[in-house]
Amino acid sequence: MVQVHQLSYTVKGKKLLDNVSFDVHSGQHLSILGANGAGKSTLLKLLSKDLVTAEGSIKIAGKEISTYSLQDLSKFRSVLSQQNTIALSFTVYEIVLMGRYPHFEQQPTANDLAVVKSVMDETGIMEFSDRYYHTLSGGEQQRVQLARVIAQIYDQPKAVLLLDEPTTGLDLLYQQQILLLARSLADRGFCVISILHDINFASRYSDNILLLKQGKTVAFGAPVEVITCSHIHEAFNVQVTLMEGEHFKCPMIVPSGILN
Amino acid sequence: MALSVCIGAVKISAGELRSILAYRMHLSDDVGFSRQQEAVLFGLRLPRVVLAVLVGASLAISGAAMQGLFRNPLAEPGLIGISSGASLFAVLVIVLELKFLTAAFGYYGLAIAAFVGACLTTFLVYRVAVVGGRASIATLLLVGIAINALAGSFTGLLTYTANDAQLRNITFWTLGSLGGASWKTVLSILPFVLISLSCLPWMAKRLNALALGESQAGHMGIHVNMLKRIVVILATLGVGASVAVSGVIGFIGLVVPHILRMAISADNRLVIPGSALLGATVLVLADLISRTLVAPAELPVGIVTALIGSPIFIYIILRERMIKA
């Protein structure tokens, strides 16, 4: 669904991304990991067409991203950004309905309203429907934003969902809820790409992991292949110990407390 | 509106109004009114009320759109230099007594100069704020403040050198008045105001999406730069034309959209068209007050709107603080 081939991006002579390649199919969840400044956000901005003029190619559903207009993309690809402040006092319902904006002109159709309702149910925000967005807690706001971006592509067969640090600043329960939701969307056929910071969560809930360091790929593949002591040390400069999970087959790490 | 048509230095009763209308529409041959009343109604009152409707609607709708564009409920059309540019050019005409303008356009020389001033200043603000094809809203705001201050200082300089008669003229113009209303003024601003009034509601959905953030709006398929340009042009057309014929009438553009947002919803699809209606009503009433309070003299309507508007504005700020606290 999303194919990235030898992608590089340079700003003022500095290579923020250097020859990155990977594939994500429909039904898969790819997590992008890396230290601060590794190029994760740059990569996501290129994938969402916030940034253009890169070397290499990004193909979505077999076509170069440059051949899509913003409107074309907005119909089947949605993006959850990191910063989400809302200027005016909108209610939760109004914000989720905005997710359907690319699909209707002036008045929402019955389908749009049905989508909004199911998404609000699934994300568990129905109870705040009439509350003002700015009166919600950080975790609740994040779920509203997630509901909005899911509503945008909910009824599309080949949808792409890009999440930029969807769990940052949230407590353990909300992190788990959001990643479970991302997982279930992927299981339903979405192509989900998210930037994460928690290596264990990434390992637990994604099909593939892309590990970046200073714009270059350290490793790309299934969690078992990517999450190894040497890869983590290379990417983050932190010594870790690998643990075996009792009930699941994904690698878990614990920092060993030794510097370098 | 009917109220506003009837009340004034020459009183017309409801019965007389009906009688005048019936006579004019050839429904009745009874002449239950004086010729003076008829002349006042059609020559003075009616155009004045229509002008108040047009000016009030375009000030308020542009205010609503600007607040959406700046993602700030305290924004108003004057922020990007529309009013200060118009003032500067109007004062320029008054003080320098530019004869060629009055020679070419007669009484309307002042209005045309003000409109040109509004457009030029806004264009200047926009050009300075654009870097690499993109106008960042924060820069637009800062440039707007700077250009407003610059235009204000020139206006001040000119005011300083003005003589007494010119000063009276300037004061009247900067405080705003619908006293110059005639069918000719109505017709001359009608096209600009109509374009602005009929196009801005179509931007409502896009402005809603913009409230989520610029990149978020882009992800929803909206060309944010194009949207900025369109809204700025439409607001300049409507407000520039209004300011040109009525002077600077404050607070309508700021307060009216706000009242709607508090009373109904922040949804621009309601706020933008609603602002046009409420703005028209508010200005008709404010104008009624301004010309009856000290009749037969007139208060500048800008004083009335500011008197009503400022306390509401302070209330809004306090309320915002309470919500955020």
Percent of chain A surpassing pLDDT 70: 97
Mean pLDDT of B80-101: 82
Q: Is the pLDDT of residue B324 over 70?
A: no
- B208–chain A Cβ distance below 8 A for any pair: yes
Helices (H) and strands (E) in chain B, counts: 16, 2
B56, B88, B281, B291: which is closest to B179 by C-alpha? B291
Higher pLDDT, B324 or B192: B192
Render pLDDT for A67-113 as a digit per residue (tens, 0 to 9).
Answer: 999 999 999 999 999 877 887 789 999 999 999 999 998 889 999 99
Q: Is the pLDDT of residue A255 over 90?
A: no
* ipTM for the complex shown: 0.86
pLDDT at residue number B162? 84
For chain A, which domains are there?
A: 2-259 (3.40.50.300)
pLDDT at residue number B1? 59
Residues 81-110 of A with CB under 8 A from B: 81, 83-91, 94-95, 98-99, 101-102, 106
Q: Is the pLDDT of residue B35 over 80?
A: no
Render pLDDT for B130-167 as a digit per residue (tens, 0 to 9).
Answer: 776 677 788 888 888 898 899 989 988 988 888 888 88
Mutate to test the interface with A, among B134, B212, B269 (most CBs of A within 10 A): B212
pLDDT at residue number A245? 66
Report the chain A residue with the minimal C-alpha distance to residue B270: A106
Identify the residue whose tokens are 């370098």.
A260
- How many angstroms separate the CA of residue B214 from the nearest CA in chain A? 10
Residue A193 CB neighbours (<10 A)? 30
Q: Is the pLDDT of residue A4 over 70?
A: yes
Chain B positions touching A87 (Cβ under 8 A) are 71-73, 211
Report the chain A residue with the minimal C-alpha distance to residue B258: A88
Residues 27-56 of B with CB under 8 A from A: none
Q: Is the pLDDT of residue B25 over 70?
A: no
pLDDT at residue number A246? 66
Mean pLDDT of B219-231: 91
- B109–chain A Cβ distance below 8 A for any pair: no
Render pLDDT for A54-66 as a digit per residue (tens, 0 to 9).
Answer: 788 999 998 999 8
For chain B, which domains are there?
A: 2-62+78-324 (1.10.3470.10)
Residues 213-242 of B with CB under 8 A from A: 213, 215-216, 218-223
**Contacts (Cβ under 8 Å, ≥6 apart) of B239:** B58, B59, B62, B77, B82, B83, B118, B196, B253
Render pLDDT for B228-278 as a digit per residue (tens, 0 to 9).
Answer: 989 999 999 999 889 888 888 888 998 899 888 888 888 999 999 999 999
Q: What is the pTM of this model?
A: 0.85
Mean pLDDT of A21-43: 92
Q: Say yes or no for a CB contact (<8 Å) between B219 and A74.
A: yes
- Top mean-pLDDT range of A20-24, A244-248, B171-175: A20-24
